[in-house]
Structure 1
Amino acid sequence: MPASGPEPAASPTPLEHRRPPRRHVSHRPVRAEHAERTQVFLGRLGSTRKTERTRLRIDFDRAARVVAEIDAVSGAGNDEKPA
């Protein structure tokens, strides 16, 4: 006997409904400072610290990407971009 009620809709894949995170312009100075400090720390890290270097590089890349997204959304070509 068929079940009563509406048939459940096919669930979308997780990425179909995922919106890009909102980047607030007011957070830019903090994000830019974080990227700059992480980059400086990476430069001072010894060659034997490969695990830390990998983790910090990922962290720096994310911080730099967020700052670039904030700049793109705000339309402001702020001079505080990380190198």
Structure 2
Amino acid sequence: MSQPRPLLSPPETEEQLLAQAQQLSGYTLGELAALAGLVTPENLKRDKGWIGVLLEIWLGASAGSKPEQDFAALGVELKNYPCG
């Protein structure tokens, strides 16, 4: 299995978005950060938005901090929730 790479532009279809998300399955957040060349924060309680930013990078989200959907062309908003 080849290593996934972050999308450089927003996905054009929901199928492309889903395919990219499925490629991330099985990787830890630390592994995804390393593959993207990012440093994992020591304190995720203080840097609580970091996980969302990491996922936006990997999935090609275009909104950033703008008040619009992360994948506006698809009508999709990215949400992540803590578990555990």
TM-score (norm 1): 0.29
Larger relative contact order, structure 1 or 2 (CA cutoff 8 Å, min sep 6): 1
Query: Max radius of gyration: which structure?
Result: 1
Q: Which has the higher helix share?
A: 1
